[in-house]
Chain A
Amino acid sequence: DADVTQTPRNRITKTGKRIMLECSQTKGHDRMYWYRQDPGLGLRLIYYSFDVKDINKGEISDGYSVSRQAQAKFSLSLESAIPNQTALYFCATSDRWGGTYSGANVLTFGAGSRLTVL
């Protein structure tokens, strides 16, 4: 099984619908993130959580919300989806101490969730 599992992998929905993307991890990491990938714009941070009781907005949080249900679970919601939220969404986790890169965040990404809003 993958260390970071995202569901669904693909989703097509209509404008105005509520969508939830789910992420679960078996890494035992404290930190979890949601990124959005768009061609030419790279990876942009939506929300991040450094522990279960900590939720922080990223660069592009408008129109999104998150819930950290447990150390291993972090979900992203679009309350009322719009077409410009069509993108590839990634969940990631990191270990606070980073192993080889002590003190830095080494991210482990899921395989991504492709969302299309019509």
Chain B
Amino acid sequence: QQQVKQSPQSLIVQKGGISIINCAYENTAFDYFPWYQQFPGKGPALLIAIRPDVSEKKEGRFTISFNKSAKQFSLHIMDSQPGDSATYFCAASIGAGKLIFGQGTELSVKP
């Protein structure tokens, strides 16, 4: 049972374009939705996170859009750069409980 479903599995974007990664969840008790970024040979690291009481969270070129009624949230990377090439994971948790991760999206930004 996959509680957090992520798509697409891979994504190729041209430099300067917008990268969009989507996640859907099933458990309406989830109240914390982070995104993690993983570079090759490294462990994932927290990129940005949102709580369901807001519809959008922006940090620099990275934005989370949250749709509570649809049980979906997405990561938008504006002005994508080759340095953004990485694997991105969405996740969800209830309070301070364990994180459940999505399947991951491998992003490649072409120069």
| A43 and B49 contact, CB distance less than 8 A | no
- Looking at B45, B51, B97, B104, the one whose CB has the most chain A CB atoms below 10 A away is B104
CB-CB contacts below 8 Å: A23-68 with B: 33, 35, 37, 40-45, 48, 56, 58-59
**B79-97 to A contact mask, C-beta < 8 Å, 1/0:** 0000000000100010111
| A105 and B104 contact, CB distance less than 8 A | no
| B44 and A106 contact, CB distance less than 8 A | no
- Looking at B9, B42, B43, B44, the one whose CB has the most chain A CB atoms below 10 A away is B43
| B104 and A103 contact, CB distance less than 8 A | no
Which A residues lie within 8 Å of B101 (CB)? 35, 42-44
B60 touches A (CB below 8 Å): no
Residues on A lying within 8 angstroms of B by beta carbon are 4, 33, 35, 37, 40-45, 48, 56, 58-59, 90, 92, 96-98, 101, 103-112
Additional 4 contacts, C-beta under 8 A, given A56-B98, A103-B95: A43-B44, A58-B98, A111-B41, A112-B43
